[in-house]
Amino acid sequence: MTLFTVGPVEMYPTIQEVSSKQLPYFRNASFSNIMFELQERMLRLLHLKDGLLVTLTGSGSAAMESLCCCSFRNNQRVLIINGGSFGQRFSSICDCYHIPHDDILLPFPQRLTADILADIDGSKYCALLVNMHETSTGQLYDMQCLSQFAKKYHLYLIVDAISSFIADPLDMDDMGIDCVILSSQKALALSPGISFIAMNTRFYHEMIEPKDDICKYLSIKEHVKHMKRGQTPNTPAIGIILECMKRLQEIEIQGLQQVQDEIRKRALYFRKQCTQLSFTLPPFTLSNALTPIIVDGCAQELYHYLIDHHDLTLTPSGGTLQHTMLRVSHLGNLTLHHYDTLIQGMKEFGL
Ligand SMILES: *Cc1c(COP(=O)(O)O)cnc(C)c1O
Protein backbone atom coordinates (compact mmCIF):
# COMPACT_ATOMS: atom_id res chain seq x y z
CA MET A 1 0.00 0.00 0.00
CA THR A 2 1.29 3.45 -0.85
CA LEU A 3 -0.36 6.59 0.47
CA PHE A 4 -0.53 9.66 -1.74
CA THR A 5 -2.80 11.18 0.87
CA VAL A 6 -2.09 14.42 2.77
CA GLY A 7 -2.45 12.95 6.23
CA PRO A 8 -1.56 10.46 7.41
CA VAL A 9 1.29 10.18 4.91
CA GLU A 10 3.94 7.52 4.29
CA MET A 11 5.99 7.54 7.48
CA TYR A 12 9.76 7.14 7.74
CA PRO A 13 11.15 3.87 9.21
CA THR A 14 13.11 5.84 11.83
CA ILE A 15 9.84 7.30 13.11
CA GLN A 16 8.05 3.94 13.04
CA GLU A 17 10.86 2.62 15.19
CA VAL A 18 10.25 5.38 17.75
CA SER A 19 6.51 4.67 17.81
CA SER A 20 7.06 0.95 18.41
CA LYS A 21 8.75 1.51 21.80
CA GLN A 22 7.38 1.51 25.35
CA LEU A 23 6.36 5.04 26.37
CA PRO A 24 8.22 6.73 29.22
CA TYR A 25 6.57 8.46 32.19
CA PHE A 26 6.29 12.20 31.59
CA ARG A 27 5.95 14.15 34.86
CA ASN A 28 9.67 14.47 35.31
CA ALA A 29 12.66 16.56 34.30
CA SER A 30 13.73 14.37 31.42
CA PHE A 31 10.37 14.78 29.64
CA SER A 32 10.38 18.52 30.42
CA ASN A 33 13.73 18.77 28.67
CA ILE A 34 12.26 17.08 25.61
CA MET A 35 9.43 19.64 25.58
CA PHE A 36 11.87 22.55 25.88
CA GLU A 37 14.01 21.18 23.08
CA LEU A 38 10.94 20.59 20.92
CA GLN A 39 9.85 24.21 21.43
CA GLU A 40 13.29 25.52 20.60
CA ARG A 41 13.63 23.44 17.43
CA MET A 42 10.13 24.20 16.23
CA LEU A 43 10.47 27.97 16.68
CA ARG A 44 13.82 27.85 14.88
CA LEU A 45 12.28 26.06 11.88
CA LEU A 46 9.50 28.65 11.80
CA HIS A 47 11.92 31.58 12.07
CA LEU A 48 10.24 32.96 15.15
CA LYS A 49 12.71 34.55 17.53
CA ASP A 50 10.58 35.76 20.41
CA GLY A 51 7.87 33.15 20.64
CA LEU A 52 5.94 30.48 22.50
CA LEU A 53 4.94 27.00 21.43
CA VAL A 54 1.71 25.43 22.64
CA THR A 55 1.49 21.64 22.20
CA LEU A 56 -2.06 20.30 22.17
CA THR A 57 -3.23 16.72 22.15
CA GLY A 58 -5.80 16.76 19.38
CA SER A 59 -5.72 16.99 15.59
CA GLY A 60 -5.12 20.25 13.72
CA SER A 61 -8.69 21.41 14.15
CA ALA A 62 -8.17 21.42 17.93
CA ALA A 63 -5.43 24.02 17.47
CA MET A 64 -7.66 26.07 15.14
CA GLU A 65 -10.44 26.02 17.73
CA SER A 66 -8.12 26.69 20.66
CA LEU A 67 -6.60 29.70 18.95
CA CYS A 68 -9.95 31.20 17.98
CA CYS A 69 -11.68 30.72 21.32
CA CYS A 70 -8.71 31.94 23.38
CA SER A 71 -7.93 35.02 21.26
CA PHE A 72 -11.19 36.52 20.04
CA ARG A 73 -14.44 37.64 21.64
CA ASN A 74 -17.69 39.07 20.31
CA ASN A 75 -16.49 42.69 20.34
CA GLN A 76 -13.88 42.42 17.58
CA ARG A 77 -14.37 41.30 14.00
CA VAL A 78 -12.04 38.96 12.11
CA LEU A 79 -11.55 38.50 8.37
CA ILE A 80 -11.34 34.95 7.02
CA ILE A 81 -10.04 33.79 3.65
CA ASN A 82 -12.62 31.11 2.95
CA GLY A 83 -11.56 29.24 -0.18
CA GLY A 84 -12.55 25.70 0.72
CA SER A 85 -13.38 23.38 3.57
CA PHE A 86 -10.52 24.49 5.84
CA GLY A 87 -11.36 28.18 5.42
CA GLN A 88 -14.96 27.18 6.15
CA ARG A 89 -13.74 25.45 9.32
CA PHE A 90 -12.38 28.76 10.66
CA SER A 91 -15.70 30.32 9.77
CA SER A 92 -17.74 27.62 11.57
CA ILE A 93 -15.50 27.79 14.65
CA CYS A 94 -16.05 31.56 14.82
CA ASP A 95 -19.83 31.01 14.54
CA CYS A 96 -19.67 28.54 17.39
CA TYR A 97 -17.96 31.04 19.69
CA HIS A 98 -19.98 34.07 18.47
CA ILE A 99 -16.89 35.72 17.03
CA PRO A 100 -18.05 38.23 14.40
CA HIS A 101 -16.41 37.56 11.05
CA ASP A 102 -16.52 38.37 7.35
CA ASP A 103 -15.36 35.81 4.82
CA ILE A 104 -13.70 36.35 1.49
CA LEU A 105 -15.41 33.49 -0.35
CA LEU A 106 -13.46 31.90 -3.19
CA PRO A 107 -15.59 29.29 -4.94
CA PHE A 108 -13.39 26.74 -6.74
CA PRO A 109 -11.32 27.49 -8.82
CA GLN A 110 -11.26 31.22 -8.07
CA ARG A 111 -7.84 32.68 -7.19
CA LEU A 112 -7.17 35.06 -4.35
CA THR A 113 -5.71 38.12 -6.07
CA ALA A 114 -4.30 41.45 -4.93
CA ASP A 115 -7.32 43.10 -6.61
CA ILE A 116 -9.75 41.25 -4.37
CA LEU A 117 -7.86 42.43 -1.28
CA ALA A 118 -7.58 45.99 -2.61
CA ASP A 119 -11.39 46.26 -2.55
CA ILE A 120 -11.60 45.41 1.13
CA ASP A 121 -11.59 47.95 3.93
CA GLY A 122 -9.39 46.17 6.48
CA SER A 123 -9.83 48.78 9.19
CA LYS A 124 -12.96 47.00 10.54
CA TYR A 125 -10.99 43.95 11.62
CA CYS A 126 -8.56 42.95 14.33
CA ALA A 127 -7.15 39.85 12.64
CA LEU A 128 -6.82 38.05 9.33
CA LEU A 129 -7.23 34.27 9.41
CA VAL A 130 -5.94 32.20 6.51
CA ASN A 131 -5.08 28.62 5.64
CA MET A 132 -1.78 29.24 3.81
CA HIS A 133 -2.44 26.20 1.64
CA GLU A 134 -6.17 25.49 1.35
CA THR A 135 -5.68 21.73 1.25
CA SER A 136 -9.21 20.98 0.05
CA THR A 137 -8.59 22.68 -3.31
CA GLY A 138 -4.79 22.87 -3.45
CA GLN A 139 -4.59 26.67 -3.68
CA LEU A 140 -1.47 28.18 -2.12
CA TYR A 141 -2.17 31.79 -1.18
CA ASP A 142 0.27 34.62 -1.80
CA MET A 143 1.58 35.21 1.71
CA GLN A 144 3.48 38.35 0.72
CA CYS A 145 0.27 39.92 -0.47
CA LEU A 146 -1.66 38.88 2.66
CA SER A 147 1.16 40.04 4.87
CA GLN A 148 1.12 43.49 3.25
CA PHE A 149 -2.63 43.70 3.70
CA ALA A 150 -2.34 42.77 7.39
CA LYS A 151 0.44 45.32 7.92
CA LYS A 152 -1.45 48.09 6.17
CA TYR A 153 -4.43 47.73 8.52
CA HIS A 154 -2.49 46.61 11.62
CA LEU A 155 -4.21 43.24 11.75
CA TYR A 156 -2.85 40.24 13.55
CA LEU A 157 -1.97 37.63 10.96
CA ILE A 158 -3.04 34.11 11.89
CA VAL A 159 -1.87 31.37 9.56
CA ASP A 160 -2.97 27.74 9.49
CA ALA A 161 0.12 26.26 7.86
CA ILE A 162 -0.83 22.65 8.60
CA SER A 163 -0.24 21.38 5.08
CA SER A 164 2.43 23.86 3.95
CA PHE A 165 4.85 23.86 6.89
CA ILE A 166 8.06 22.21 5.63
CA ALA A 167 6.63 21.86 2.09
CA ASP A 168 6.61 25.60 1.27
CA PRO A 169 8.74 28.55 2.40
CA LEU A 170 7.48 29.91 5.72
CA ASP A 171 9.26 32.57 7.75
CA MET A 172 7.12 33.97 10.58
CA ASP A 173 9.25 37.00 11.39
CA ASP A 174 9.87 37.91 7.78
CA MET A 175 6.22 37.42 6.73
CA GLY A 176 4.93 39.26 9.82
CA ILE A 177 2.93 36.24 10.97
CA ASP A 178 1.78 36.45 14.59
CA CYS A 179 0.55 32.94 14.96
CA VAL A 180 1.01 29.67 13.09
CA ILE A 181 -1.04 26.48 13.48
CA LEU A 182 0.55 23.08 12.74
CA SER A 183 -0.29 19.42 13.17
CA SER A 184 1.60 16.17 13.28
CA GLN A 185 0.19 14.07 10.45
CA LYS A 186 0.90 16.22 7.38
CA ALA A 187 4.38 17.32 6.24
CA LEU A 188 5.93 16.29 9.57
CA ALA A 189 4.87 12.75 8.56
CA LEU A 190 4.03 11.62 12.10
CA SER A 191 1.03 9.86 13.60
CA PRO A 192 -2.09 12.04 13.88
CA GLY A 193 -2.93 13.37 17.32
CA ILE A 194 -0.88 16.41 18.23
CA SER A 195 -1.11 19.96 16.99
CA PHE A 196 0.85 23.11 17.71
CA ILE A 197 0.29 26.82 18.00
CA ALA A 198 3.43 28.92 17.60
CA MET A 199 2.91 32.59 18.39
CA ASN A 200 4.97 35.66 19.04
CA THR A 201 4.93 36.80 22.66
CA ARG A 202 3.37 40.13 21.75
CA PHE A 203 0.30 38.34 20.36
CA TYR A 204 0.09 36.24 23.52
CA HIS A 205 0.35 39.21 25.87
CA GLU A 206 -2.07 41.39 23.94
CA MET A 207 -4.71 38.91 22.78
CA ILE A 208 -4.70 35.89 25.05
CA GLU A 209 -3.27 36.62 28.47
CA PRO A 210 -5.78 39.37 29.43
CA LYS A 211 -8.85 37.24 28.60
CA ASP A 212 -10.72 34.92 30.95
CA ASP A 213 -10.78 31.35 29.70
CA ILE A 214 -13.99 30.09 28.13
CA CYS A 215 -12.62 26.59 27.68
CA LYS A 216 -10.39 24.38 29.76
CA TYR A 217 -8.83 21.50 27.79
CA LEU A 218 -7.87 23.77 24.89
CA SER A 219 -6.88 26.75 27.04
CA ILE A 220 -3.71 28.37 25.69
CA LYS A 221 -3.10 30.13 29.01
CA GLU A 222 -3.10 26.78 30.86
CA HIS A 223 -0.67 25.34 28.31
CA VAL A 224 1.64 28.35 28.47
CA LYS A 225 1.60 28.22 32.29
CA HIS A 226 2.58 24.53 32.37
CA MET A 227 5.11 24.94 29.58
CA LYS A 228 7.09 27.29 31.84
CA ARG A 229 8.31 24.05 33.44
CA GLY A 230 8.23 22.00 30.22
CA GLN A 231 4.91 20.30 30.90
CA THR A 232 1.35 20.11 29.57
CA PRO A 233 -1.81 20.47 31.72
CA ASN A 234 -2.99 16.92 30.91
CA THR A 235 -1.39 13.71 29.67
CA PRO A 236 -0.10 14.53 26.21
CA ALA A 237 0.23 12.09 23.28
CA ILE A 238 3.71 11.24 24.58
CA GLY A 239 4.50 8.87 21.72
CA ILE A 240 3.82 11.46 19.03
CA ILE A 241 5.87 14.04 20.90
CA LEU A 242 8.80 11.60 20.81
CA GLU A 243 8.20 10.96 17.11
CA CYS A 244 8.21 14.71 16.59
CA MET A 245 11.50 15.22 18.43
CA LYS A 246 13.12 12.56 16.26
CA ARG A 247 11.74 14.09 13.05
CA LEU A 248 12.82 17.63 13.99
CA GLN A 249 16.33 16.37 14.72
CA GLU A 250 16.42 14.63 11.33
CA ILE A 251 15.14 17.73 9.54
CA GLU A 252 17.78 19.92 11.16
CA ILE A 253 20.54 17.47 10.29
CA GLN A 254 19.41 17.20 6.68
CA GLY A 255 18.55 20.89 6.48
CA LEU A 256 15.02 22.26 6.12
CA GLN A 257 15.82 23.60 2.66
CA GLN A 258 16.95 20.16 1.51
CA VAL A 259 13.82 18.47 2.85
CA GLN A 260 11.68 21.13 1.15
CA ASP A 261 13.59 20.75 -2.12
CA GLU A 262 12.87 17.02 -2.13
CA ILE A 263 9.13 17.58 -1.70
CA ARG A 264 9.26 20.18 -4.47
CA LYS A 265 11.22 17.83 -6.72
CA ARG A 266 8.53 15.16 -6.37
CA ALA A 267 5.80 17.71 -7.08
CA LEU A 268 7.52 19.03 -10.20
CA TYR A 269 8.35 15.51 -11.43
CA PHE A 270 4.74 14.41 -11.11
CA ARG A 271 3.38 17.61 -12.70
CA LYS A 272 5.71 17.20 -15.65
CA GLN A 273 4.51 13.62 -16.25
CA CYS A 274 0.93 14.86 -15.98
CA THR A 275 1.28 16.74 -19.25
CA GLN A 276 1.30 13.36 -21.09
CA LEU A 277 -2.09 12.49 -19.64
CA SER A 278 -5.53 13.83 -20.38
CA PHE A 279 -6.49 15.82 -17.33
CA THR A 280 -5.93 19.38 -16.18
CA LEU A 281 -4.56 21.11 -13.09
CA PRO A 282 -6.34 24.09 -11.49
CA PRO A 283 -5.37 27.60 -12.63
CA PHE A 284 -4.06 28.86 -9.27
CA THR A 285 -0.66 28.64 -7.55
CA LEU A 286 -0.04 25.21 -6.04
CA SER A 287 1.73 24.18 -2.86
CA ASN A 288 4.66 21.78 -3.13
CA ALA A 289 2.65 19.55 -0.82
CA LEU A 290 -0.06 18.55 -3.24
CA THR A 291 -1.17 18.34 -6.88
CA PRO A 292 -4.93 18.49 -7.42
CA ILE A 293 -5.94 16.79 -10.67
CA ILE A 294 -9.19 17.55 -12.45
CA VAL A 295 -10.55 14.35 -13.95
CA ASP A 296 -14.06 15.38 -14.92
CA GLY A 297 -16.65 12.85 -13.86
CA CYS A 298 -14.34 9.92 -13.15
CA ALA A 299 -12.66 10.86 -9.84
CA GLN A 300 -14.37 8.09 -7.88
CA GLU A 301 -13.68 5.42 -10.53
CA LEU A 302 -10.00 6.36 -10.76
CA TYR A 303 -9.65 6.43 -6.97
CA HIS A 304 -11.03 2.89 -6.67
CA TYR A 305 -9.16 1.60 -9.74
CA LEU A 306 -5.79 2.66 -8.28
CA ILE A 307 -6.56 1.02 -4.95
CA ASP A 308 -7.91 -2.20 -6.46
CA HIS A 309 -5.24 -2.68 -9.13
CA HIS A 310 -2.11 -1.02 -7.71
CA ASP A 311 -2.68 -0.56 -3.97
CA LEU A 312 -2.16 3.19 -4.37
CA THR A 313 -4.35 5.57 -2.37
CA LEU A 314 -4.92 9.11 -3.63
CA THR A 315 -6.77 11.75 -1.63
CA PRO A 316 -10.44 11.91 -2.67
CA SER A 317 -12.28 15.22 -2.58
CA GLY A 318 -15.46 16.01 -0.74
CA GLY A 319 -18.56 18.07 -1.49
CA THR A 320 -18.99 19.53 -4.95
CA LEU A 321 -15.54 18.39 -6.09
CA GLN A 322 -16.25 14.75 -5.25
CA HIS A 323 -16.55 13.61 -8.87
CA THR A 324 -14.21 16.13 -10.45
CA MET A 325 -11.01 16.23 -8.46
CA LEU A 326 -8.49 13.92 -6.82
CA ARG A 327 -5.45 15.12 -4.94
CA VAL A 328 -1.95 13.65 -5.12
CA SER A 329 0.27 14.35 -2.13
CA HIS A 330 4.04 14.81 -2.24
CA LEU A 331 4.56 14.65 1.51
CA GLY A 332 6.28 11.95 3.52
CA ASN A 333 8.47 9.01 2.60
CA LEU A 334 7.83 8.93 -1.18
CA THR A 335 10.32 8.62 -4.04
CA LEU A 336 10.15 9.49 -7.74
CA HIS A 337 9.73 5.78 -8.41
CA HIS A 338 6.38 5.86 -6.58
CA TYR A 339 5.20 8.49 -9.05
CA ASP A 340 6.27 6.34 -12.03
CA THR A 341 4.04 3.56 -10.69
CA LEU A 342 1.20 6.04 -10.19
CA ILE A 343 1.50 7.46 -13.71
CA GLN A 344 1.59 3.92 -15.10
CA GLY A 345 -1.62 3.10 -13.25
CA MET A 346 -3.29 6.27 -14.52
CA LYS A 347 -2.35 5.40 -18.11
CA GLU A 348 -3.79 1.91 -17.71
CA PHE A 349 -7.00 3.46 -16.41
CA GLY A 350 -7.18 5.28 -19.73
CA LEU A 351 -6.24 8.86 -18.88
C1 LIG B 1 -5.43 18.79 7.69
C2 LIG B 1 -5.70 20.23 7.85
C3 LIG B 1 -6.30 20.74 9.01
C4 LIG B 1 -6.66 19.94 10.22
O5 LIG B 1 -7.40 18.83 10.03
P6 LIG B 1 -7.44 17.74 11.20
O7 LIG B 1 -8.17 16.63 10.53
O8 LIG B 1 -8.16 18.34 12.34
O9 LIG B 1 -6.01 17.43 11.52
C10 LIG B 1 -6.51 22.10 9.10
N11 LIG B 1 -6.14 22.92 8.12
C12 LIG B 1 -5.56 22.48 6.99
C13 LIG B 1 -5.15 23.48 5.96
C14 LIG B 1 -5.32 21.13 6.82
O15 LIG B 1 -4.73 20.69 5.70
Residue nearest to atom 3 of ligand 1 (CA): 60
350 Cα: distance to centroid of ligand 1 (angstroms): 32
CA geometry: angle 156, 162, 167, nearest 5 deg: 110
The Cβ of residue 137 has, within 10 Å, a number of other Cβ atoms equal to: 26
Ligand 1 within 6 A of CB of 232: no
Residue 196 — very low, low, confident or very high, per pLDDT cuts 50/70/90? very high
Query: What confidence score (pLDDT) does residue 227 get?
Result: 98
Per-residue confidence band for 128, with pLDDT thresholds at 50, 70 and 90: very high
Asked if residue 84 has pLDDT above 90, the reply is: yes
pLDDT, mean of residues 78-82: 98
pLDDT at 135: 98
Instruction: Give me the half-sphere count of Cα atoms (radius 13 Å) on the Cβ side of residue 97.
Output: 25
Question: How far, in Å, is the centroid of ligand 1 from the Cα of 331?
Answer: 14
- φ/ψ region of 88 (left if φ > 0, alpha if ψ in -120 to 50, else beta) reads alpha
**Cβ 85 under 6 angstroms from ligand 1:** no
CA of 224: how far to CAs of 72, 123, 132, 220, in Å?
17, 30, 25, 6
Among 163, 196, 331, the mutation site with the greatest number of ligand 1 atoms within 8 A of its Cβ is: 163
Ligand 1 and 303: CB distance under 6 A = no
- C-beta 287 within 6 A of ligand 1: no
Strand-pairing partners, residue 80, are 103, 129
pLDDT in the model for residue 213:
97
Cβ of residue 163 lying under 6 Å from some atom of ligand 1: yes
- Local confidence band at 296 (pLDDT 50, 70, 90 cut-offs): confident
Total-model pTM = 0.98
Across the chain, what does the average pLDDT equal?
A: 97
Kindly give the number of the ligand 1 atom that is closest to the alpha carbon of 61.
Answer: 8
Cα 206 to Cα 176, 178, 202: the distances in Å are 16, 11, 6
**CB distance 60 to ligand 1 below 6 Å:** yes
Percentage of residues of the chain with pLDDT beyond 90:
97
In tens, the pLDDT along 110-123 reads 999 999 999 999 99
Whether the CB of 236 sits within 6 Å of ligand 1: no
Position 125: which residue type? Answer: Y
Pocket of ligand 1 contains residue 132 by CB under 6 Å: no
Please give the Cα distance from 169 to 110 (Å, whole number).
Answer: 23
| pLDDT digits 0-9 by tens, 229-285 | 999 999 999 999 999 999 999 999 999 999 999 999 999 999 999 988 989 999 999
> From the CA of 86, how far away is ligand 1's center (Å)?
7
Coil vs helix vs strand at 126: strand
Residue 131 beta carbon below 6 angstroms from any ligand 1 atom: yes
Query: 160 C-alpha vs ligand 1 centroid, how far in Å?
Result: 8
β-bridge mates for residue 200, sequence order: 51
Q: Are strands 290-294 and 325-329 parallel, antiparallel or unpaired?
A: antiparallel
Q: What is the pLDDT of residues 13-60, one digit of tens each?
A: 999 999 999 999 999 999 999 999 999 999 999 999 999 999 999 999
Give the pLDDT mean for 63-76. Answer: 97
Cα–Cα nearest to 282, from 267, 298, 268, 295: 295
How are the residues of the chain apportioned to helix, strand and coil, as percentages rounded to the nearest 5? 45, 20, 40
List b or e across 327-346, with b for residues whose CB sees 16 or more CB atoms inside 10 angstroms.
Answer: bbbbbbbbeeebbeebbebb
C-alpha separations of 160 from 99, 128, 174, 294 in Å: 18, 11, 16, 25
